[in-house]
Amino acid sequence: MSRLRPVQLPGPASRGGARGRAAEAPAPAGDGGWAAAVSEDDQLRLVARLYYLDGLGQSEVARFARVSQAKVSRLLALARERGIVRITVTDYEPRRRDLEEEIRARLGLAEVAVLKGGGSAEPADLRRAVGHFGAPVVDGWLAAHDVVALAGGRTIHELVHQLPEAGARGLTVVQAMGSVDSSASIYDAQEIGRVLVRRLGGTFLSLNTPAFIPEKRTRDALLELGQVRNVHEHLDRARVALVGLGTLANSVFVERGTLDAAMCADLKRAGAVGEVCGRFFDARGHECPTTWRDRVIGVTLGQLRRIPLVIAIVSGTDRTAAIEAAVRGGLIKALVIDEAGAAALLAGAPTPSPKKAKK
């Protein structure tokens, strides 16, 4: 059990006396005997004093107070419940405000949150830290009755699961991209969207199509379906979007077999440096002119540019070029990132102010 200090206890006893008696106290024969003669409040204070202030282990406390070790654990919990133990912890600041200001000034973003990674460079740990500490920040950026376009992704998954259970926000959450493949994943927008509306309250509009269609003609026919048109109409009304930024090197489409080697080669030749909601873009933030562009079902880059607050939720140091290009193209307006990723971003070349991009 971790011990946090300082701990305030009413009427502390002598530190040295407690330790001396602890060494001499006989082992308990049960929960009776001497302990039974002590009032419950005194017993709670004694056990709390020995454990929190004198630093005795639970087994030592049990011998001193002549109770079982299991009862010590129960008494410590009860002491906290009754306010006999009041634990105060100096607040941990998870945000790097200095880096936030520097990124905001450098990139001209509306909102930035740079979050400490907890000392680990492991990708899973970074995603967990960004999700845990980024959730209350993003929650503060969401207003009641917002229309929210939502992408999938591992870091977004972590963040959404850490949102407070408000339950009455009245959001309309809209799936921003079709499903990557037929196998359901907890990282897909469809699954994350359901969690989001459960936690904050609202309705979820799913896009029940694949994200990528092999033929443009079939893609165009699907776009004319009433359900798909309804989703796109809601995407046009979105005030907020929660998106991730990918690259060809770590694309979920490559990982799950949707994007083959020939398509990757085409996108490389077209200068792809990043991907958002299935749309690959070049260093200027313009969509790469390949056949892939005509086969994606999801929010368009033009729609993203018109959404007032597009929040990129990113972890790791390998997205610098994608972030810079997304800013140049006006694709994102806010950034949530870990401090290592932020440092890598600031170490890069200065990013020019966004220019009017193609729709």
**Same domain for 240 and 339?**
yes
Q: What share of the chain is helix, strand, coil (3-state, %, to 5)?
A: 45, 15, 40
pLDDT grade for 91, boundaries at 50, 70 and 90: confident
**Same domain for 284 and 248?**
yes
Phi/psi at 202 (nearest 5 deg)? 140, -160
Q: Which residues contact 199 (CB under 8 A, 6 or more apart)?
A: 160, 163, 164, 165, 166, 167
Q: Establish if 35 belongs to a structural domain.
A: yes
pLDDT higher than threshold 80 for residue 230:
yes
pLDDT higher than threshold 90 for residue 226:
yes
Burial of 347 (0-12, 13-18, 19+ CB in 10 A): exposed
Mean pLDDT on 214-223: 91
pLDDT higher than threshold 90 for residue 358:
no
How confident is the model over 7-37, as pLDDT tens digits? Answer: 555 544 443 444 434 444 444 444 444 444 5
**Same domain for 65 and 197?**
no
**Same domain for 152 and 193?**
yes
pLDDT grade for 145, boundaries at 50, 70 and 90: very high
Q: Establish if 254 belongs to a structural domain.
A: yes
CA separation for the pair 113, 338 (Å, rounded): 8
From 57, 87, 117, the end of a domain falls on 87
**Same domain for 50 and 117?**
no
**Same domain for 54 and 109?**
no
Q: Which residues contact 8 (CB under 8 A, 6 or more apart)?
A: 85, 86, 88
Please give the pLDDT value at position 359: 45
**Same domain for 214 and 283?**
yes
Q: Establish if 105 belongs to a structural domain.
A: yes
- The vertex-188 CA angle with 267 and 319, nearest 5°, equals 45
By residue count, the chain amounts to 359
**246 in Cβ contact with 255 (< 8 Å):** no
Give the residue with greater pLDDT, 256 vs 128: 128
Give the residue with greater pLDDT, 355 vs 195: 195
Instruction: Domain of residue 68: give its range.
Output: 7-87
**Same domain for 186 and 305?**
yes
What is the overall mean pLDDT for the chain?
86
pLDDT higher than threshold 80 for residue 357:
no
**Same domain for 129 and 259?**
yes
**Same domain for 101 and 83?**
no
- CA distances (Å), origin 85, targets 25, 70, 76, 146: 24, 19, 8, 42
What would the DSSP string read from start to end of 61-94? Answer: HHHHHTS-HHHHHHHHHHHHHTTSSEE--PPP--
pLDDT higher than threshold 60 for residue 293:
yes
| Torsion of Cα atoms, 346 then 350 then 352 then 357, to 10° | -60
pLDDT higher than threshold 70 for residue 131:
yes
Handedness of CA 186, 323, 148, 297 (dihedral sign): negative
Please give the pLDDT value at position 9: 54
**Same domain for 226 and 321?**
yes
How many domains in the chain? Answer: 2
Residue 156, domain CATH: 3.40.50.1360
pLDDT grade for 355, boundaries at 50, 70 and 90: very low
CA separation for the pair 267, 251 (Å, rounded): 12
Q: Establish if 165 belongs to a structural domain.
A: yes
Closest CA to 160 of 118, 189, 117, 126: 189
Q: The pTM is what? A: 0.77
Please give the pLDDT value at position 182: 67
Give the residue with greater pLDDT, 286 vs 356: 286
Sheet architecture: strand order including 171-175: 111-115, 334-338, 309-313, 240-243, 147-150, 171-175, 202-205
Please give the pLDDT value at position 348: 80
pLDDT grade for 2, boundaries at 50, 70 and 90: very low
Residue 41, domain CATH: 1.10.10.10
pLDDT grade for 325, boundaries at 50, 70 and 90: very high
**Same domain for 244 and 106?**
yes
Please give the pLDDT value at position 4: 45
- What proportion of the chain, given as a percentage, has pLDDT over 70? 86
pLDDT higher than threshold 80 for residue 256:
no
Q: Would you call 154 helix, strand, or coil by DSSP? A: helix
CA separation for the pair 98, 85 (Å, rounded): 36
- List the beta strands (DSSP E) in the chain: 7-8, 86-87, 111-115, 147-150, 171-175, 202-205, 240-243, 274-276, 279-281, 309-313, 334-338
**170 in Cβ contact with 204 (< 8 Å):** no
From 58, 87, 116, the end of a domain falls on 87
pLDDT grade for 38, boundaries at 50, 70 and 90: low
CB atoms within 10 A of CB 297: 22
Is the N-terminal amide bond of 6 cis, ω within 30° of 0?
Answer: yes
CA separation for the pair 315, 319 (Å, rounded): 8
From 87, 110, 141, the end of a domain falls on 87
Q: Establish if 358 belongs to a structural domain.
A: no
pLDDT higher than threshold 60 for residue 229:
yes
Please give the pLDDT value at position 99: 97
Q: Establish if 92 belongs to a structural domain.
A: no
Mean pLDDT on 128-138: 96
Q: Establish if 359 belongs to a structural domain.
A: no
Q: Which residues contact 24 (CB under 8 A, 6 or more apart)?
A: none
Q: Establish if 2 belongs to a structural domain.
A: no
Please give the pLDDT value at position 92: 84
